[in-house]
Amino acid sequence: MVDHCAFGWIFSALLAFPIALSLFLSPWRNRRVRGTDSTPRSASVSSSATTNGECRSVDGDADVVIVGAGVAGSALAHTLGKDGRRVHVIERDLTEPDRIVGELLQPGGYLKLIELGLQDCVEEIDAQKVYGYALFKDGKNTRLSYPLENFHSDVSGRSFHNGRFIQRMREKAASLPNVRLEQGTVTSLLEEKGTITGVQYKSKNGEQKTAYAPLTIVCDGCFSNLRRSLCTPMVDVPSYFVGLVLENCQLPYANLGHVVLGDPSPILFYPISSTEIRCLVDVPGQKVPSISNGEMEKYLKTVVAPQVPPQIHDAFIAAIEKGNIRTMPNRSMPAAPQPTPGALLMGDAFNMRHPLTGGGMTVALSDIVVLRNLLKPLKDLNDAPTLCKYLESFYTLRKPVASTINTLAGALYKVFCASPDQARKEMRQACFDYLSLGGIFSNGPVSLLSGLNPRPLSLVLHFFAVAIYGVGRLLLPFPSLKGIWIGARLVYSASGIIFPIIKAEGVRQMFFPATVPAYYRTPPVLNS
């Protein structure tokens, strides 16, 4: 079995490179860049005035205006504030958020948190350490541990209440004297001759106000009403999460996230406090059963409950009967930036992936590290066109981490969903069995999933190793015409899953970033 998988690695490499190269050379890779003067913007952009050709700063003389104070916005405000920038953050609602996602931070994200000096934000919120996953399928299960042997003992995943984590980061950002956190609703971006010069917003008491800065960073989340001004969004909603909280029960394996490969799609369990277990039931498609007329309760009890591990079955039923069932669309959106002088998109406003793998916060924190390092050498941000050209390198430098996590999330979701197609069934079983082999066969994919080793090529090799492993199972001990046919369709199906995702991410930037001119941008000389 191990020899066969080793063969699969070699074969998958030979298979992956020609296809990747053909995608790389294809004409679709060219992206459209918004012109600064001639291209019309959306209605969410208003015109503004400038003084002597420079952006005006009011209400505290900000260097940077940040729209949104979620995970990305709060972490970014603290990071830039710590570097001496004057930051004005405008958030629609500064009360503690109450969400059913954004509750699992992978070890790779925790390392970024340490790098940003924000690791204490997971303290004093009853956060739970997570050391890997337990995978369940058809009555069998396997444990997948994060490869943490070479890291400090404190490094692990963390799971928590999303709102508590965000409030800690907001407090940390607001504690800096040069960071101003204000509650208000941003209604539009302000523009002058193709350059974003700030924002227009309504304050908490309803007063219309403006905030000017040389750089405006939009981090207003998955429901962003400003992203259309700064990118070409292609939002897909493959499924919904139905969220429940199980109380006073124990998962089969302590300190592990639990993934049930259910029918029709995965069911997730992980601790969010010392007494609460988050359950997320994935429901494919654009609609979910109605909560109000009882359809959802019936669906959860009759379809989902029989697939739940017996140790938590009673707690699952109790959570359904208690009510407080919540739903949220699972959105994915490739990063499709239109470099715009004076503005930048970040977080879920800019790039989303299926939340199955819990990679969103890791991508956001990694992006902040990249942006911080790019801005650090710059004392002045007022030359918007030059700064915009320089910051184009951000989109290339972020790709190895972001594209690996994005691609893995999309591919795993499709593999983990049940399907009537025999080839897809074989791929799903092959994935479970491949990960169950342990050693490099589980460590490699888990290190990708956790953000500890975000290498796109490693992802492709493991993905096709799984496919070839599945083909080998069909051909052994003796090949048959049916086995050969299903095996061929399995490889075809695997290619159909992963390559469209890679294409959307951008082959050149994902696999060959050094060939992109922006990769070599050096800091411009901007006068103070």
Same domain, 94 and 224: yes
For the entire predicted model, the pTM comes to 0.88
Residue 88 pLDDT > 90, yes or no? yes
Q: Are strands 104-105 and 157-159 parallel, antiparallel or unpaired?
A: antiparallel
Instruction: Assess whether 199 and 120 both reside in one domain.
Output: yes
Of all residues in the chain, the percent with pLDDT exceeding 90 is 81
Banded model confidence at residue 29, pLDDT cuts 50, 70, 90: very low
Cis amide prior to 27 (ω within 30 degrees): no
In the predicted model, is pLDDT for residue 522 greater than 80? yes
Please give the tally of structural domains in the chain: 3
Conformational region of residue 67, where left means phi above 0, alpha means psi within -120 to 50, and beta covers everything else: beta
Mean pLDDT (whole number) for 392-398? 94
From 382, 398, 416, the end of a domain falls on 382
Give burial (CB, 10 Å; 0-12/13-18/19+) of 183. Answer: middle
Query: Looking at the domain assignment, is residue 29 inside a domain?
Result: no
Contact criterion met (CB below 8 Å) for 300 and 279: no
Decide if 40 is inside a domain. no
The residue length of the chain stands at: 528
CA distances from 339 to 8, 82, 390, 401, 511 (A): 41, 26, 10, 20, 22
The confidence band for 7, taking pLDDT boundaries of 50, 70 and 90, is: very low
- Name the residue type at position 338: Q
Higher pLDDT, 348 or 521: 348
Question: Which pLDDT value is given to residue 209?
Answer: 96
Q: Any idea what the CATH number is for the domain that residue 356 is in?
A: 3.50.50.60
pLDDT value at residue 517: 86
- Render pLDDT for 463-496 as a digit per residue (tens, 0 to 9): 999 999 999 999 998 899 999 999 999 999 999 9
| Per-residue confidence (pLDDT) for residue 524, from 0 to 100 | 82
**Confidence band of 38 (pLDDT split at 50, 70, 90):** very low
Model confidence at 8: pLDDT above 60: no
Signed CA dihedral, 271, 308, 268, 452: sign only:
positive
What kind and span of H or E run contains 502?
helix 481-505
> Does residue 60 register a pLDDT over 60?
no
- Poorest-pLDDT segment among 77-91, 115-129, 171-185, 500-514: 500-514
> Cβ of 152: how many Cβ atoms within 10 Å?
9
The arithmetic mean of pLDDT across residues 238-244, rounded, is 97
251-281, pLDDT tens digit by residue?
999 999 999 999 999 999 999 999 999 999 9
Examine the domain organization and report whether 246 and 296 are in the same domain.
yes
In a domain, 115, yes or no: yes
The number of beta carbons lying within 10 Å of the beta carbon of residue 219 is 30
CATH code of the domain containing 278: 3.30.70
Please list, in sequence order, all residues whose beta carbon lies within 8 angstroms of the beta carbon of residue 35, skipping any fewer than 6 positions away. 194
Q: Does 255 reside within a domain?
A: yes
Mean pLDDT to the nearest integer, 146-158 = 95
Tell whether 319 and 344 lie within a shared domain: no
User: Is residue 28's pLDDT more than 60?
Assistant: no
Do 504 and 419 have their domain in common?
Answer: yes
By the 10 Å C-beta count (0-12 exposed, 13-18 middle, 19+ buried), 475 is classed as middle
DSSP string, 101-123: SS-EE-HHHHHHHHHTT-GGGGT
Most confidently modeled of 22-26, 34-38, 157-161, 520-524?
157-161
Beta strands 215-218 and 343-345: pairing type?
A: parallel
Query: Are 91 and 213 part of one and the same domain?
Result: yes
Q: Give me the pLDDT at residue 520, please.
A: 82
Residue 44 has what pLDDT? 55
pLDDT tens figures, 437-451:
999 999 999 999 999
Residue range(s) defining the domain that contains residue 465: 406-510
